[in-house]
Amino acid sequence: MITPIYFDTDSYFSQKKLAEMADTGEISDGLSFYGPKQCVVQNSCSQINYHRQDWKLLSIPHIKIQDAINGNYDTDTYLEIATPMWFLLEDRSWVKGKNIIITNMHEAWLKGMPYTMDLPEHEIDLSVVEDCKLANHCIIVSDNASKVDGVDCVPSHAFYMDTRDSYKTYAPWCDDLRSFSEDNISKLGTKPKQYIALLGREKPHRTDFYKKISASEVDGYVGGFEDYGRIEFDDPQYYKDFYLKDRYLAKEWFTNTEVWVSHETQYIWKGMNPDAMSSPLTEKVWKPIAFGMPFLLNSSQDCLDRVNEMGFNNFTEVFGNYHTDDFTTTNDNIIDILKNYKSFDIEQIKSICLHNYNHFENMTSDKYIEMFWKELGISYT
């Protein structure tokens, strides 16, 4: 059984951290870290259990933080606490001997871990991992394919469910996804451009790729927002829509290109703290699968492994093990693959694309949820 924790006051939190996090976007607009408007968007287990339902924490079974601390509940229960609240806690010693699930439905890692090169010092608190190990059993549930020694990590793929449910919104021109994808797959090997890379906002691994691919003779589409410039065929009618400007897909990006190059939200650099590895799988991976494209990924090897674990094929059997422990060499390998794309077995690539599309079509959000609970090994109620 899983029961989310309700914070009726902010007295359990570090007031210094609370003040520093006031405007960091860790909670939804108009909501709070505590009280009747306590934000629930990060509660992965609760979100998945109540999928497609509009709910608030106080409308479902929950436990007040003081009762959790005092053990006033069935202690076989797993207490669910969202990652921002775990980070904010002044004292976590009370979790000793208890079962706890630390969750975040839409972010990849625990608040406090240095998952980027430029994380502000006040956001770093390495005790968030060490304190997990105080519990009798601790599970981390987030959109993170990486593992932590001594803690069970179970990925939750909100972006998979979002892409599965919303691909028609991303591509309003697509009336029949299967027909489009099968046709797109059949034309692999004959398209005029080598790649499409939607880079989004500026990040080191994306900037490195942008500079290198721009200096090469590989022909494709590359860019994203103001940081790297708009890409041809982007539709300006979506610029003002915060959701769609991140996710709109032009038909030509698929029909004109051979390979989808995905630079995920996070990246790996040599010497990075293993506990801070952040390996999300966002719509950047699921979109090429849904529309019949091979893909190359710069994020982490854990992401590529997770794609296979979910029943998809990550194309490394064709392109080789191009991912390294540093984003710069991974980019070098990706560009080398693009330069030599015609040397790879196109029929094998087509076969994998069709397998991936079929699996995407068959693994509905409901089937994904079944897989999640099986991997978690704990029922919600």
pLDDT of 244-259, one tens digit each?
777 889 999 999 999 9
Q: Is residue 125 part of a domain?
A: yes
Q: Are residues 22 and 117 in the same domain?
A: yes
Residue 154 within a domain? no
Q: Which residue range(s) make up the domain with 122?
A: 2-142
Same domain, 131 and 180: no
Does residue 236 have a pLDDT over 90?
no
Which of 115, 142, 169 delimits the end of a domain?
Answer: 142
Total domains in the fold of the chain? 2
Q: How far is CA 5 from CA 55, 62, 63, 80, 211, in A?
A: 15, 6, 5, 6, 47
pLDDT at 272 over 90: no
136 lies in the same domain as 166:
no
Highest-confidence range of 47-56, 154-163, 209-218, by mean pLDDT?
Answer: 209-218
Q: Tell me which DSSP letter residue 372 carries.
A: H
121 vs 177 pLDDT, higher one = 177
Distance of CA 240 to the CA centre of its chain: 24
> Is 376 part of any domain?
no
Q: Look at residue 147 and tell me if it is in a domain.
A: no
Please tell me the predicted confidence (pLDDT) of residue 92: 97
pTM: 0.92
366 vs 23, residue with greater confidence: 366
Residue 370 inside a domain? The answer is: no
Which range among 52-61, 101-110, 167-176, 208-217 has the greatest average pLDDT? Answer: 208-217
pLDDT at site 242: 66
167/129 same-domain check: no
164 and 62 belong to one structural domain? no
Residue 375 lies in a domain: no
Between CA 281 and CA 287 the distance in angstroms is: 11
Whether the pLDDT of residue 107 is over 90: the answer is no
pLDDT of residue 169: 85
**Is residue 148, in this structure, part of any structural domain at all?**
no
Examine the domain organization and report whether 136 and 182 are in the same domain.
no
One domain for residues 89 and 230: no
Same domain for 137 and 184: no
**Is position 150 within any domain?**
no
Q: Are residues 99 and 125 in the same domain?
A: yes
Model pLDDT, residue 73:
95
Which residue, chain included where needed, has tokens 């991912």?
Answer: 323
Does 61 share its domain with 171? no
Range scoring the smallest mean pLDDT among 79-93, 157-171, 188-202, 204-218: 157-171
- pLDDT at position 123 over 80: yes
**pLDDT band for position 200 (cuts 50, 70, 90):** confident
Contacts of 92 (CB under 8 A, 6+ apart): 86, 127, 131, 134
Kindly provide the b/e burial profile for residues 288-321, where b requires at least 16 CB atoms within 10 angstroms of the residue's own CB: bbbbbbbbbbbbbbbbbbbbeebebbbbbebbee
Residue that the structure tokens 């529309």 belong to: 291
Return the structure tokens found at 13.
């939190």
Number of residues in the chain: 381
Mean of all residue pLDDT scores within the chain: 93
**290 and 358 both lie in a single domain:** yes
Instruction: For residue 363, name the pLDDT band (cuts at 50, 70, 90).
Output: very high
Q: Same domain, yes or no, for 238 and 127?
A: no
Query: Reading across the β-sheet that carries 193-198, which strands appear in turn?
Result: 220-223, 193-198, 257-263, 295-298
